[in-house]
């Protein structure tokens, strides 16, 4: 399955393929980053991984970084 996609299973409905919305590009990205910095002992690594994942996903989908 391509990165950035998910399969949604709902009771009584056929499975559906959907696009994910990474938290790093969502409306609450700043609040999530602040929470990670406050509660994750390896916050720098976590945030760096998130940035790398977002860059990779944008490249796959042809979205300018």
- 64 vs 2, residue with greater confidence: 2
Model confidence band, residue 63 (pLDDT cutoffs 50, 70, 90): low
Domain ranges in the chain are 23-65
Give dist(CA 7, CA 2) in Å, integer: 11
Of 20, 60, 51, nearest to 33 by C-alpha is: 51
Q: Is the pLDDT of residue 45 over 80?
A: yes
Of 26, 27, 48, 20, nearest to 36 by C-alpha is: 48
The reported pTM is 0.60
- Convert the pLDDT of each residue in 2-15 to its tens digit: 778 899 999 999 99
| Averaged pLDDT, 43-53 | 88
Q: Is the pLDDT of residue 48 over 60?
A: yes
- Asked if residues 37 and 23 have their Cβ atoms less than 8 Å apart, the reply is no
Classify each residue of 15-41 as buried b or exposed e, where b means 16 or more C-beta atoms within 10 Å of its C-beta: eeeeeeeeeeeeeeeeeebeebeeeee
């Amino acid at each position: 399955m391509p990165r950035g996609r998910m399969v949604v299973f709902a009771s009584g409905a056929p499975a559906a393929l959907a696009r994910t919305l990474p938290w790093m590009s969502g409306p609450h990205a700043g609040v999530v980053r602040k929470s990670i910095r406050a509660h994750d002992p390896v916050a720098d690594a976590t945030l760096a991984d998130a940035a790398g994942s977002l860059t990779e996903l944008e490249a796959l989908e042809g979205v300018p970084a």
